[in-house]
Homo-oligomer: A and B are copies of this chain.
Amino acid sequence: MPQGKPLTVPDDGLSTRERRQQPLLMVHTGDGKGKSTAAFGLAIRAWNQGWNVGVFQFVKSAKWRIGEQTVLERLGELHRETGEGGPVEWHKMGAGWSWSRKEGSETDHAVEAAEGWAEVKRRLAEESHDLLVLDEFTYPMEWGWVDVDDVVETLANRPGRQYVVVTGRRAHPRLVEVADLVTEMTKVKHQMDRGQKGQKGIEW
């Protein structure tokens, strides 16, 4: 709801308009559904505003293609063809990042995750995107594959107007601390508890 009224007006010397325009660092965490889905939903909205969207999936086994990737890449194609919306890039770690495809080598997920973060860091410095989705990035942070201090400082001090969404369970407390908007998705009830498996069209 765009008409939401702030509870307090901070004494930061900014006008409402300037404050409204501050780019956000968002975190979707918790054990429930919808963390990534809501992030890709934001990407769809961003595309519609003509923003440059970059999605980075830090998923060990993301060899499959999810529906959102097909749709967002199709929207990126529409942008190139007709000028509608904005440009879209979608990268995933699972089968090796597209920018560093290594032939025949064994995959070391820790090394791959660190490479992915190094690329995201370069893009943040160059302000390549308006919205960056770092999907399931809480796990490389949890497992020590990337340096938490480096991540937190880089995200907190990113230049310009770059929106960032990080998704995944157990978001690091330091990430939560620097984030502007943190939402926890909690499972209240799930059909898997009844013995039902994931479904095409709903789960991927």
Q: Which residues in A have some Cβ–Cβ distance to B below 8 Å?
A: 1-4, 6-10, 12, 16, 19-22, 24, 27-30, 32-34, 37-38, 40-42, 44-49, 51, 64, 66-68, 70-71, 74-75, 78, 84-85, 131, 163, 176, 179-204
Contacts and interface: CB of A to CB of B under 8 A. Distances in A.
Contact of A44 (B19, B40, B78, B183): B40
B32 A37 contact: no
Contact of A20 (B47, B186, B197): B197
A19 B196 contact: yes
Contacts of A203: 1-2, 4
* This protein's copies in its complex: 2
Contacts of A8: 193-195
22 contacts: A2-B204, A4-B203, A6-B193, A7-B195, A9-B195, A21-B199, A29-B188, A30-B186, A33-B181, A34-B183, A41-B44, A45-B67, A45-B71, A48-B68, A49-B200, A131-B201, A163-B201, A176-B189, A180-B194, A180-B196, A182-B187, A183-B185
